Amino acid sequence: MKKQSNIAPDNIVELRGKAIAKFKKYNDEMVLPKTKEELLRFVQELEIHQIELEIINEELQESRAEVENILEQYTDLYDFAPVGYFTISHDGKILKANLGASSMLGIERSKLLNRRLEQFLSWDSITAFNELLQRAIREKIKVSCEVCYIKVLNNTITSTMSKESSNLNMPCAHIEMLSSENAQEIRIAMIDITERKRNEVELNKYKDHLEEMIEERTLQLTEKDEILECELCEHKKTEAALLISNKELESFSYSVSHDLRAPIRAIDGFTRKLFEGYNSILDDEGKRLLDVVLKNTKNMGMLIDDLLNLSRLGRKKMEPSEINMEELVNEVIIELNDFEEDKKPEITVQHLPAVNGDRALIRHVIFNLLLNSIKFTAHREKPIIEIGYLTKDHQNIYYIKDNGVGFNMKYAHKLFEVFQRLHSLKDFEGTGVGLAIVQRIIHRHGGTVWAEAEVGKGATFYFSLHNNGEIYEDSSI
Amino acid sequence: MKTQASEILLVEDNPYDAELTLNALKINNLDSKVYWVENGEQALEFLYAGGEYSGRDINIKPKLILLDLKLPKEDGMEVLEKIKSDEKMKTIPIVILSSSREVSDIIKSYKLGVNSFVVKPVDSEEFLKSVSELGLYWLVLNQPPE
């Protein structure tokens, strides 16, 4: 009985009053103990009761502490939730609000209480909100909608927005509502969706814009496509025209060269007749003049014949076969040896691999190159010519090397042009078509030809066939 | 013109080439035996004793026909074909003297039965040499069919 109790003195009196009242309810009168033993037993029982009560009390305290703890946690959760929680009455008054709600609206909690929530919504949203509230109360299920609300700065409540204000820049929120069973309390969660809405608008803008951009782009590309197709068409036409033109050109140059021969022959023949027939009455100057005419017609004749050759070899149909290069080279050497009687050059032929090509045309190439070598080494005491091959970058390259007069590499790019000569006519005869013919033939075989030289030391001519792996067939023929 | 005794029929439209040819044949004294016509039509008339040659004895055939290919009216190839497909005339030796070196022309003429194909050199000296030797060969060395 001496135990402490947590109850305040006033409450103790109240408690006793309650207890007595309750006691009297179940017992008519208060019965006093008769004997000492009864009294002691009574007291003992009371003491036990007291202890029981104290135990219960302790447990209650513990529960209460736990409850308080839980309440604290709950309050924290409630208050600091990142959404706005409201508890409102059935007529829309704010009974409770969390800190989230307070900061969302920009208003101190105390100033929110007992105000209608709709005060803080936009004009357009009020109707929807009220309808939602009615529905929540009626159906007792969770309902939701979107509203626009007023965010307050400086803690002053502005009046409700008028109808005319636009919602566009107002903050908006998603509202979830659930009514209690007795519809006395309706709990609301209000989630700010302003950012989301804004992003949606932006996204839609971009989406529309994107579609526009895509359309534009597609149009652009279609246009470009058409233009390119046009160009391609044009190119193809040009190519076809060029091929025809090329063929016509070769045809033309052939027939022109061909038709020029007769008149040249006439000039040559009749001048010669004049020269021979009237030799006795001509003075030295007269003879010299006629000599000049004859020399020039001879030159002209050679040019024409060379041009004809060039044209003919360019037009001749290619007949590819496997060519034994060693055999071919030796054949040409024999032919040229018959040619030149005075100074026979020393010609060495290395082992040469076979190659695919038109034998007659390649023969021409070797003939021309060898002829050149012989021509340009003729003045040497010991003319030396070497024919061999080397491999570079997986290509077979044939070469003809001589120790002749050589040429200046500065003009190497001119070597293969028609009528280009790097030496004067009085030093070495020739029309300058030989190498052009060589190049034409090599190119028809899909190959390359080039030369290296040093003035006074000699020259080496290189050629390879089928750089692209195939024989290049002239499609014009 | 002694048409009867002509042993060489020259069919050439270019008078300068014709003159040079005669000069060449003169070297071996063969020029007097030449009869010159300027086109294929005349050549055939001569051979078959037609037109202005109706008085000729058709059985006296020339020992050699020098034939240019590029001729007005009937060209050389047609003349060649006509002569070589005629039983009575095909034995006459025909030598084509042409500016053309076209392989196709050469092959075609041989297929038609030409006896020789010579390309006219552009150098007149060579031309003289070739034609004079030609004449000598066909008229002196070669044995004619009749």
Interchain CB contact of B104 with A (< 8 Å):
no
Backbone angles phi, psi at A169, to 5 degrees: -105, 10
pLDDT at residue number B86? 93
A298/A264 Cα distance (integer angstroms) = 8
> What residues of chain B lie within 8 A of the CB of A304, using their CB?
122
Q: What is the mean pLDDT of chain B?
A: 89
**pTM of the full structure:** 0.53
- C-alpha torsion angle, residues A314, A320, A321, A322 (rounded to 10): 70
pLDDT at residue number B94? 96
Instruction: Please tell me what DSSP assigns to residue B63.
Output: S
Cα-only R_g, chain B: 14
pLDDT at residue number B1? 43
A450/B67 Cα distance (integer angstroms) = 45
**Cβ contact A265–B123 (<8 Å):** yes
Amino acid making up residue A443: H
pLDDT at residue number A242? 81
Residues B5-36: tens digit of each pLDDT: 688 999 999 999 999 999 999 998 888 889 99
pLDDT at residue number A345? 83
Residue B53 has pLDDT above 50, yes or no: yes
**Cβ contact B101–A298 (<8 Å):** no
Backbone angles phi, psi at A187, to 5 degrees: -95, 135
A340/A326 Cα distance (integer angstroms) = 21
Q: Residue A303's closest chain B neighbor by CA?
A: B122
Residue A430 Rama label (left phi>0; alpha psi -120 to 50; beta): left
Asked if A335 and A450 touch (Cβ cutoff 8 Å), the reply is no
CA angle B97, B38, B134 (to 5 degrees): 25
pLDDT at residue number A311? 78
Closest Cα to residue A240, out of A476, A473, A474, A471? A476
**Cβ contact B122–A273 (<8 Å):** no
A38/B2 Cα distance (integer angstroms) = 194
- Number of CB atoms found within 10 A of residue A121's CB: 26
Interchain CB contact of B17 with A (< 8 Å):
yes
- Measured in angstroms, the CA of A275 and the nearest CA of chain B are apart by 13
Asked if A452 and A459 touch (Cβ cutoff 8 Å), the reply is yes
Which residues, given as ranges, of chain A have pLDDT below 70? 1-9, 28-31, 154-169, 338-343, 419-420, 422-431, 467-477
Residues B30-50: tens digit of each pLDDT: 888 899 999 999 999 999 988
**Cβ contact A265–B23 (<8 Å):** no
> What residues of chain B lie within 8 A of the CB of A302, using their CB?
122
**Cβ contact A305–B122 (<8 Å):** yes
In A229-258, the residues whose Cβ lies within 8 Å of chain B are 258
By the 10 Å C-beta count (0-12 exposed, 13-18 middle, 19+ buried), A62 is classed as: exposed
**Cβ contact B16–A298 (<8 Å):** no
DSSP for A121-175, please give it. B-HHHHHHHHHHHHHHHHH-S-EEEEEEBPPPSTT-PPPPPPTTS-STTS-EEEE
Asked if A396 and A358 touch (Cβ cutoff 8 Å), the reply is no
Give A18 or B81, the one with higher predicted confidence: B81
**Cβ contact A268–B14 (<8 Å):** no
